[in-house]
């Protein structure tokens, strides 16, 4: 048994014994009740405050054995990463399969692509605010498991709809699956500040986004290969299996100990608090305005790209999936480089680069030759690279300046701005693409330019480091 010195209640050192998490329960109780030992209860999921800080410090000096100098707390982060990989993989497979399913499987045109993409994106508009309140009220493990279950159920419906050739059932399943992703993103983002110190939040957020980038890189070529082999309907079956694996990973999260909760304000009061905080916080205002324009442009391009690639670029379905894989490669590179770029260049530069490089994507697509792959792949890469760095940076800023009790609602308010405008972008892009796919691509370029101007016109350009304080209105950040 390892002897150590502990500080007693009066600050005097005393000998003691610390137990490892593998210590048998009987010995744990004996040490906990003994004046010579210290054996804390097993940690619960996402404790906050001093307990969270103790957990981070405890893991750095771990030594194997039944007893060690510091208690080792089980980390839920690997399970959170596993859930991110499964849920994002399923979401990206479904997103890549939807335009191809509509155009090839159902024989519909760009208008139907835009309509179903709008249905998919409507979940972000309609479900974000209720999901944000749920994240702030319910245990985060419960919210994460509910998100995974909803994702699995929705993709199962989408699979049935694609097999039966029923667009309404396909749309219902896509909506439900997207609602699960909404809830997962909010719950996972709210969990990160409880798991890592603030200076490490960009790295933690980058690891979560790196999972999404890796699966996005693989999703589009896989779906393109299924389409080329005539097995396009199997894409939604694959997405359902991936979502189930993500749910299984989330189920390994430890249960959080029950805690007393103060009386909560009414639902509408809580929603107003989150929205008011975003409107009063100058950094979050700039982030939201940039996101509105960029996401409108991205979904306009998404609705127009497949018709543009099949007609103007004369690409086969398998090559369309290959080109879309460039987007995943950009996400991967952006997530890997984001922490380094934030440290070296500063958040202000990263927040300008993100939407700025997106402006080049429609230009590259418009000058690409027929059946050429290099320029379309480069365009998709830029759409993933810059915005991924922007995403990691803005999430870290949001987590730093937002009180933890409001993270769910503030994240939901921004998600309404970020994703709620996607149906409008998809409908506009699909309508213009129905007349000429090049017009939908041009609309995306104009909206990307507006998103860059939104950053340049905000206080984000003066932000040289991730904020360290959390306040309702951080005046210290004013330039």
SS3 state of residue 347: helix
In this structure, the number of other CB atoms found within 10 A of the CB of residue 164 comes to 11
Residue among 129, 376, 373, 139 at smallest CA distance from 275: 129
Mean pLDDT over residues 391-415, rounded?
87
Burial class of 76 by CB neighbour count within 10 A (0 to 12, 13 to 18, 19+): buried
Residue among 411, 336, 371, 477 at smallest CA distance from 135: 411
pTM over 0.75: no
Task: Classify 314 in phi/psi space as left (phi over 0), alpha (psi -120 to 50) or beta.
Answer: left
Task: List b or e across 437-450, with b for residues whose CB sees 16 or more CB atoms inside 10 angstroms.
Answer: bbbbbbbbbebbbb
Task: Please report, for residues 84, 179, 264, 444, the alpha-carbon distance to residue 186 in angstroms, rounded to integers and kept in the order given.
Answer: 12, 11, 20, 27
Q: How many residues does the chain have?
A: 479
pLDDT digits (tens, 9 = 90+) for 174-222: 999 999 999 999 998 888 777 677 777 888 888 888 887 888 778 878 8
In this structure, the number of other CB atoms found within 10 A of the CB of residue 362 comes to 27
Q: For the ranges 53-57, 333-337, 387-391, 396-400, which has the lowest average pLDDT?
A: 53-57
Q: What are phi and psi of 121, to 5 degrees?
A: -75, -25
Pick the more confident residue, 230 or 46: 230
Give residue 452's pLDDT: 95
SS3 state of residue 394: helix
pLDDT digits (tens, 9 = 90+) for 49-73: 333 333 344 333 333 333 333 333 3
SS3 state of residue 20: coil
- 78-253+267-466 fold: Growth Hormone; Chain: A; (1.20.1250)
Task: Please report, for residues 36, 42, 166, the alpha-carbon distance to residue 199 in angstroms, rounded to integers and kept in the order given.
Answer: 36, 26, 49
Q: For the ranges 75-79, 166-170, 179-183, which has the lowest average pLDDT?
A: 75-79
Give residue 206's pLDDT: 87
Three-class DSSP labels, 129-187: HHHHHHHHHCCHHHHHHHHHHHHHHHHHHHHHHHHHCCHHHHHHHHHHHHHHHHHHHHH
Give residue 52's pLDDT: 38
Parse the chain into domains and list their residue ranges: 78-253+267-466
């Amino acid at each position: 048994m390892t002897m150590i010195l502990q500080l007693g209640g009066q600050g005097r050192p005393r000998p003691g014994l610390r137990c490892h998490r593998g210590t048998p329960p009987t010995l744990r109780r004996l040490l906990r009740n003994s004046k010579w030992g210290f054996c804390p209860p097993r940690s619960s999921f996402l404790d906050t405050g001093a307990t969270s800080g103790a957990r981070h410090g405890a893991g750095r000096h771990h030594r194997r054995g039944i007893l060690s100098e510091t208690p080792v707390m089980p980390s839920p982060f690997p399970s959170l990463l596993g859930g991110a990989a499964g849920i994002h993989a399923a979401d990206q497979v479904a997103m890549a399969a939807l335009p191809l399913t509509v155009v090839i499987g159902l024989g519909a045109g760009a208008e139907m692509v835009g309509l179903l993409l709008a249905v998919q994106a409507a979940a972000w508009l309609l479900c974000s605010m209720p999901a944000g309140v749920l994240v702030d009220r319910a245990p985060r493990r419960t919210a994460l498991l509910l998100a995974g279950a909803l994702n699995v159920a929705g993709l199962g419906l989408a699979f049935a709809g694609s097999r039966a050739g029923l667009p309404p059932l396909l749309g219902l399943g896509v909506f439900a699956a997207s609602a699960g992703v909404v809830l997962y993103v909010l719950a996972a983002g709210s969990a990160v500040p409880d798991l890592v110190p603030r200076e490490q939040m960009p790295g933690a957020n980058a690891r979560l986004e790196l999972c999404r980038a890796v699966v996005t890189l693989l999703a589009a070529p896989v779906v393109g290969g299924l389409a080329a082999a005539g097995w396009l309907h199997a894409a939604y079956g694959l997405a359902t299996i991936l979502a189930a694996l993500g749910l299984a990973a989330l189920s390994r999260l430890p249960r959080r100990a029950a805690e007393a909760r103060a009386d909560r304000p009414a639902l509408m009061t809580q929603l107003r608090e989150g929205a008011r905080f975003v409107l009063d916080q100058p950094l979050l205002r700039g982030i939201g305005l940039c996101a509105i324009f960029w996401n409108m442009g991205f979904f306009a391009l998404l609705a127009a790209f497949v018709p543009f690639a099949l007609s103007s670029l004369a690409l086969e379905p398998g090559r369309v999936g290959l080109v879309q894989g460039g987007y995943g490669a950009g996400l991967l590179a952006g997530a890997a480089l984001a922490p380094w770029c934030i440290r070296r260049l500063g958040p202000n530069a990263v927040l300008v680069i993100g939407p700025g490089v997106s402006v080049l994507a429609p230009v590259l697509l418009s000058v690409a030759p027929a059946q050429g792959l290099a320029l379309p792949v480069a365009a998709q890469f830029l759409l993933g690279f810059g915005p991924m760095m922007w995403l990691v940076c803005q999430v870290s800023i949001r987590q730093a300046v937002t009180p933890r009790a409001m993270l769910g609602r503030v994240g939901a308010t921004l998600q309404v701005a970020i994703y709620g405008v996607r149906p409008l972008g998809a409908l506009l892009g699909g309508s213009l693409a129905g007349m000429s796919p090049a017009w939908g691509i041009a609309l995306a370029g104009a909206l990307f330019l507006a998103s860059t101007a939104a950053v340049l016109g905000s206080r984000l350009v003066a932000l040289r480091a991730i904020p360290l304080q959390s306040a309702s209105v951080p005046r210290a950040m004013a330039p």
